[in-house]
């Protein structure tokens, strides 16, 4: 017995609706699956980025620990916390909440690292400066040496003796990188990228034979690329041209005088990493020389 045309039409419509629902469900399921895969890929990528950032931070701590003779326990403890976070991240689930939690911990560690490494640099530079300051004993030695030298040249012409003995001399020449806070406080820096000035300090030795009054010395700071920093102006003597970074002007009163001068980096750039040479000239005569290094 054949079905009526009306029932056949209803069956076809029902089958068509089922087909549309099936295709719609398949499309929606495929879309959800693709979105899930994309989200997982994104989470894995961001998780790897956080791991890379933590690894770079750990390397900075390792370098700071290796360069410090007396180990800074705060730096060592911070390095251990980073390793613990890395180990935990490796086995963590790839979820948005989990990843965000690790990102917040990383940002907190980044702030802590900036503070710790700045303090670590300050302590290292201060230790070096304290060691260099032992040269202050050379001030007394220089005074005795000048007196002894004046006795040794008694048989030379008096005018030559007076001229040579009256020349200004400097001792304890030292250079370092510094970071100047907005408050004006200066923090010694060992790293080139953290330094915004080079500080040059020396002592003009006591000399009773030198005429008191306004004096000047030429300071030359040469960077690792053999560039003269600062003003890089020239002065010409009879047989010599001197490029200098700055002129140190002061009032001399025949007693030890401590002087510090500052040199800025080249315009729109940072200081180069490497060894720096400092020279101090009295006219064309080199009277003091020293070196220091910025990492």
- Render pLDDT for 156-181 as a digit per residue (tens, 0 to 9): 544 555 555 668 899 999 999 999 88
Boundaries of domain holding 227 = 166-294
Is the backbone of residue 121 left (phi > 0), alpha (psi -120 to 50) or beta?
Answer: alpha
Do residues 171 and 289 both lie within one domain? yes
Do residues 75 and 171 both lie within one domain? no
Among 132, 126, 114, residue whose Cα is nearest residue 64: 114
- Report the domain count for the chain: 2
- Give the per-residue pLDDT at 293: 95
Do residues 117 and 28 both lie within one domain? yes
pLDDT band at 1 (very low <50, low <70, confident <90, very high): very low
The CA distance from 174 to 190, in Å, is 13
Do residues 12 and 90 both lie within one domain? yes
Within a domain: 81: yes
Report yes or no: 220 and 186 within 8 Å, Cβ to Cβ. no
Between residues 229 and 182, the one the model is more confident about: 229
Please name the residue that has the structure tokens 């004993």: 137
Do residues 170 and 286 both lie within one domain? yes
Please name the residue that has the structure tokens 């079905």: 3
Secondary structure (DSSP) of 114-135: HHHHHHHHHHHHHHHHHHHGGG
The answer on pLDDT for 30 being more than 60 is no
pLDDT (tens digit per residue) in 253-286: 999 999 999 999 988 889 999 999 999 999 999 9
Do residues 115 and 217 both lie within one domain? no
SS3 content of the chain, % helix, strand, coil (to 5): 50, 25, 25
């Amino acid at each position: 017995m054949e079905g009526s045309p009306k029932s056949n039409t209803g069956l076809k419509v029902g089958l068509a609706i089922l087909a549309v629902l099936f295709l719609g469900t398949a499309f929606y399921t495929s879309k959800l699956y693709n979105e899930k895969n994309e989200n997982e890929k994104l989470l894995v990528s961001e998780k790897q980025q956080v791991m890379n950032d933590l690894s770079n931070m750990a390397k900075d701590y390792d370098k700071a620990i290796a360069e410090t003779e007396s180990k800074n326990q705060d730096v060592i403890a911070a390095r251990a916390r980073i390793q613990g976070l890395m180990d935990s991240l490796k086995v963590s689930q790839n979820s948005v909440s989990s990843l965000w939690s690790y990102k917040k911990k990383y940002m907190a560690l980044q702030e802590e690292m900036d503070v710790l490494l700045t303090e670590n640099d300050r302590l290292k530079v201060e230790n070096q400066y304290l060691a260099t300051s032992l040269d202050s004993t050379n001030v007394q030695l220089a005074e005795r040496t000048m007196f002894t030298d004046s006795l040794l040249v008694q048989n030379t012409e008096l005018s030559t003796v007076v001229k040579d003995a009256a020349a200004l001399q400097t001792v304890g020449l030292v250079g370092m990188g510094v970071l100047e806070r907005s408050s004006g406080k200066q923090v010694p820096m060992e790293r080139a990228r953290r330094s915004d000035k080079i500080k040059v300090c020396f002592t003009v030795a006591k000399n009773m034979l030198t005429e008191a009054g306004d004096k000047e010395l030429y300071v030359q700071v040469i960077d690792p690329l053999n560039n003269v920093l600062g003003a890089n102006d020239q002065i010409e003597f009879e047989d010599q041209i001197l490029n200098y970074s700055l002129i140190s002007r002061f009032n001399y009163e025949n007693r030890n005088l401590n002087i510090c001068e500052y040199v800025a980096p080249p315009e729109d750039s940072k200081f180069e990493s490497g060894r720096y040479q400092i020279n101090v000239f009295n006219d064309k005569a080199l009277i003091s020389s020293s070196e220091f290094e910025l990492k």
